[in-house]
């Protein structure tokens, strides 16, 4: 069976079939190649592979057939020429930065990105004279004002974590390009079935496959996507020589995850919307953050830019941190963990976990209230999730 042409099919067909290259054994599911190295038929072929005169596998730090199927499938789904799979989401961000930047370059990043991304930029890349300025995600004038002659990358996540703020990717791509910069979007929260940043002008897409692409909390992995010209030499060399390679076993698990991604994202979104609407109607809730809600500040933009609204819902309980902690401590069904994108629903207190590095003043400025709770809604019965939240909320408000 021939490989399928990504331009001919929709994202759901690609999620199930893109990248398949049967071995001749007649297997239906994708084969798992657990092998570190590959053999050559003779000395001349070995020489040709090393000289890059002949394409083919040499060593699984560079290429592996199972990892390649994952890369081709995710590239087809995002509408990218090239995907480079990495050992983790952070490995993807590091590989992209090392591949695309040099000492002296400058990054402008949204303030509302994954906490470890901020640590990577501030504590690691800064040592190599790559500086980062931070701006508010939806303040377009601030993005423009932060760009200097040295700026090479604009970096964001949308919707943001945990407040689900949505940024106009097209508008930020236009700002980036008018200053000769690249726009990098971490598409972890939406995945390509809900949002396709390349269609909106992004140059690079980052994934933590650990989250929704796996979707069942099993493996750690990531990916960098973009054009062949941008990633081919630059980012692939980081992987080849730096070693942030995805394991073939993990690639196989992620492939199975991609096959159900659309069904899962729609189910996450449906359950999350039901929880968000229910929370709005409860006593003792000051505010609910979810882009589907009509009073969300970027509701219209989210409707335009995304196919659905995703699985993350945040809310502020009255009574501050003490009430938020009481609520979390009385939860029975939700897992108390900062992870997200799992079939199991999770609950976390951002101010004292994912956002604990912020000063009280920074928390005030960025809306990380003491009573803020973030939910990642999974696939349990929504009635059970509501009952669990209701009972814990009643205890929290005593
Ligand atoms: C988890 C996460 C990452 C990092 O991914 P790992 O696979 O944990 O290294 C990056 N970006 C976002 C938005 C994340 O949620």
Question: Is the beta carbon of 89 within 6 A of some atom in ligand 1?
Answer: yes
Q: What is the mean pLDDT of residues 111-135?
A: 95
Question: Is the beta carbon of 186 within 6 A of some atom in ligand 1?
Answer: yes
Share of the chain above pLDDT 90, in %: 93
For the purposes of burial, counting CB atoms within 10 Å of the CB of 140, is it exposed (0-12), middle (13-18) or buried (19 or more)?
middle
Q: What is the mean pLDDT of residues 56-65?
A: 96
> What would the pLDDT profile of 193-233 be if each residue is shown by its tens digit?
999 999 999 999 999 999 999 999 999 999 999 999 999 99
Find the distance separating the first CA and the last CA of the chain, reported in whole Å. Answer: 64
Report residue 376's pLDDT band, with 50, 70 and 90 as the boundaries. very high
| Probe target for ligand 1 pocket from 87, 90, 312, 350, with the most ligand atoms within 8 Å of CB | 90
Dist. CA 79–CA 307, nearest whole Å: 16
Question: Is the beta carbon of 114 within 6 A of some atom in ligand 1?
Answer: yes
Q: What's this model's pTM, rounded to 2 decimal places?
A: 0.96
pLDDT score, position 378: 98
pLDDT score, position 31: 96
| Probe target for ligand 1 pocket from 114, 195, 225, 244, with the most ligand atoms within 8 Å of CB | 114
pLDDT score, position 366: 85
pLDDT score, position 2: 61
Tokens of residue 371, six digits? 């009573």
* CA of 89 relative to ligand 1 center, distance in Å: 5
Share of the chain above pLDDT 70, in %: 99
Q: What is the mean pLDDT of residues 304-326?
A: 97
Question: Is the beta carbon of 376 within 6 A of some atom in ligand 1?
Answer: no
In this model, does residue 295 exceed pLDDT 80? yes
Q: What is the mean pLDDT of residues 231-256?
A: 96
Question: Is the beta carbon of 254 within 6 A of some atom in ligand 1?
Answer: no
Which residue is closest in CA terms to ligand 1's atom 12? 114
Which residue is closest in CA terms to ligand 1's atom 4? 89
Q: What is the mean pLDDT of residues 368-388?
A: 98
- Contact indicator for 300, 354 with CB cutoff of 8 Å: no
Q: What is the mean pLDDT of residues 72-95?
A: 97
Dist. CA 231–CA 234, nearest whole Å: 5
| Closest atom, ligand 1, to C-alpha of 339 | 1
| Probe target for ligand 1 pocket from 163, 211, 223, 251, with the most ligand atoms within 8 Å of CB | 211
């Amino acid at each position: 069976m021939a490989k399928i042409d990504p331009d001919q099919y929709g994202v759901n067909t690609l999620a199930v079939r893109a990248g398949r290259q049967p071995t001749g054994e007649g297997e239906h599911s994708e084969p798992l190649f657990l092998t570190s190295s590959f053999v050559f038929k003779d000395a001349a072929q070995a020489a040709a592979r090393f000289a890059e005169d002949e394409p083919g596998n040499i060593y699984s730090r560079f290429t592996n057939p199972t990892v390649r199927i994952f890369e081709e499938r995710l590239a087809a789904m995002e509408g990218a020429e090239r995907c480079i799979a990495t050992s983790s989401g952070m490995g993807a961000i590091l590989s992209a930065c090392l591949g695309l930047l040099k000492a002296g370059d400058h990054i402008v990043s949204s303030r509302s990105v994954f906490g470890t991304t901020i640590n990577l930029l501030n504590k690691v890349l800064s040592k190599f004279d790559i500086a980062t300025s931070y701006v508010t995600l939806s303040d377009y004038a601030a993005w423009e004002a932060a760009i200097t002659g040295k700026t090479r990358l604009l970096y964001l996540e949308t919707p943001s974590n945990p407040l689900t703020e949505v940024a106009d990717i097209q508008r930020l791509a236009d700002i980036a390009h008018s200053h000769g910069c690249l726009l990098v979007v971490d598409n972890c929260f939406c995945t390509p079935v809900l949002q396709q940043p390349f269609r909106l002008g992004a140059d690079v897409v980052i994934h933590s496959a650990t989250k929704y692409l796996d979707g069942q909390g099993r493996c750690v992995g990531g990916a960098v996507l973009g054009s062949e010209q941008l990633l081919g030499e630059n980012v692939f060399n980081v992987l080849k020589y730096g070693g942030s390679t995805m394991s073939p076993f993990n690639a196989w698990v992620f492939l199975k995850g991609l096959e159900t991604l659309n069904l899962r994202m729609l189910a996450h979104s449906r359950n999350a919307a039901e929880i968000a609407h229910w929370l709005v109607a409860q006593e003792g809730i000051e505010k609910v953050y979810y882009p589907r809600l009509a009073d969300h500040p970027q509701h219209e933009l989210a409707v335009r830019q995304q196919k659905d609204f995703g699985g993350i819902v945040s809310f502020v309980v009255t009574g501050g941190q003490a009430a938020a902690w009481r609520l979390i401590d009385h939860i029975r069904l939700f897992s108390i963990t900062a992870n997200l994108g799992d079939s199991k629903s999770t609950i976390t207190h951002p101010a004292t976990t994912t956002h604990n590095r912020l000063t009280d003043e920074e928390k005030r400025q960025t809306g990380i209230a003491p009573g803020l709770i973030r939910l990642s809604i999974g696939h349990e019965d929504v009635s059970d999730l509501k009952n669990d939240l209701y009972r814990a909320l009643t205890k929290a408000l005593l």
